[in-house]
Amino acid sequence: MKKVYLFFFIFLSLVSCNQPSKNIAGSGKNPVTQYIDTSDMTNNFYDNVETHPLPVNDLFIDGEVANPGKVDFNGLPVHSVIVKETLLDSTGGDRFVGAYRYDGYSLFDILDKRILKKANINEFKPIIDLYVEIENDKGDKVVFSWGEIYYPNNLHKILIANGVSRIIPSKTKELWPLPVESKIVASGDLVTERNISSPVRITVKSYPHSFTVKQGMSPMYSPAINIFSSSKKVGQIETLPENLVSTTFNTIFYGRGKGIHSTTPFNGVLLKDLLLKYYPVIKENLRSGIICIAGKDGYRSAVSYSELFNRNDQQEFMLIKTAKEEEGGLFRIFAASDFFSDRAIKSVSEIHFNVIK
């Protein structure tokens, strides 16, 4: 029996040694060795071909932080995400580009030690109205909400990529075109318009609209939601359309401050279905649209357009209608994507939309 085990160990060692390897960019841009499983000896589908390094530009952080400056990639862990890259085409449909595994540094880690210095802290202390603009060396911009980075159930899904590997179909062997520049990779997006190349600057901002804050407001009730686009009122929601399908989300409703609230399911409609006629799916909106949802008491949250309208995980934002005159009604928000309940806005009274230029 010992001889059998010894033979098996030697066999596995020889197989491992015979796998081709390649140096790729690792933590701090230093090369590391990656073994390529060309013989499918493991159950991992995503390590079968070589990983190609993507040169990372110098990246600077500024805006509403007390310690702006250049990002030091040394010591940052390298994460991996898998992406089916797809872009909008000229007809309004989707154009598939390719399937890839990207390695890189998460936006979570990059921003982790930046001390926030909110411009509107005297009006609104919570951090959930923050968002970040990411600009590349060509002047293109994309936006991500702070909640999208730090509140989701699944962390580290937005990367600055320093390596890429094709995910090749086993039958067709189709070789997707390889990127040659570093890029921001939003792996939760269905249409990947936010995956812009060569990011060079991250700017932290709070949503620019001012609201009157009334902490501890009671009773709190808003009979309708006013819809705004670029500060202009474009609509109002007073009731839910009868043709919208009602959905139930089971949840463990847990707040960052108060902990467990309830385990009661939420029933409502998808918020994106109500807002689509006001905010259409176009490239500009997907890349740099930012939304702010505000309650009657001035409590509010930033949500990126793609986070609301362009998910590939079906962890949607829900609008819930309560009983008439119910405290915290008539409409509430539930963010199924979030670990914490902090972006569950009560008595929603306004929804604002802007495109970052």
Give the closest residue to 49 by CA, choosing from 177, 179, 165. Answer: 165
- Are the C-beta atoms of 308 and 276 separated by less than 8 Å? no
Residues 6+ apart with CB under 8 A from 319: 240, 268, 269, 270, 271, 274, 331, 332, 333, 348
Which CATH code of 3.40.50.720, 3.90.420.10, 3.30.950.10, 3.10.20.340 fits the domain covering 225-355?
A: 3.90.420.10
pTM value? 0.88
From first CA to last CA, the distance across the chain in angstroms is: 70
> Across the strands, what pairs with 355?
289
- Are the C-beta atoms of 312 and 190 separated by less than 8 Å? yes
Q: Output the six-digit token pair for 252.
A: 């463990």
CATH 3.90.420.10 domain locations along the chain: 225-355
Q: Which amino acid is at 314?
A: Q
Q: Output the six-digit token pair for 176.
A: 């997707």
Per-residue pLDDT of the chain in tens (357 residues, 90 and over written 9): 444 444 444 444 444 434 444 444 444 554 444 557 665 667 777 776 889 999 999 999 999 999 999 999 999 999 999 999 999 998 778 999 999 999 999 999 999 999 999 999 999 999 999 999 999 999 999 999 999 999 999 999 999 999 999 999 989 999 999 999 999 999 999 999 999 999 999 999 999 999 999 999 999 999 999 999 999 999 999 999 989 999 999 999 898 888 899 899 999 999 999 999 999 999 999 999 999 999 999 999 999 999 999 999 999 999 999 999 999 999 999 999 999 999 999 999 999 999 998
Give the closest residue to 266 by CA, choosing from 351, 341, 352. Answer: 341
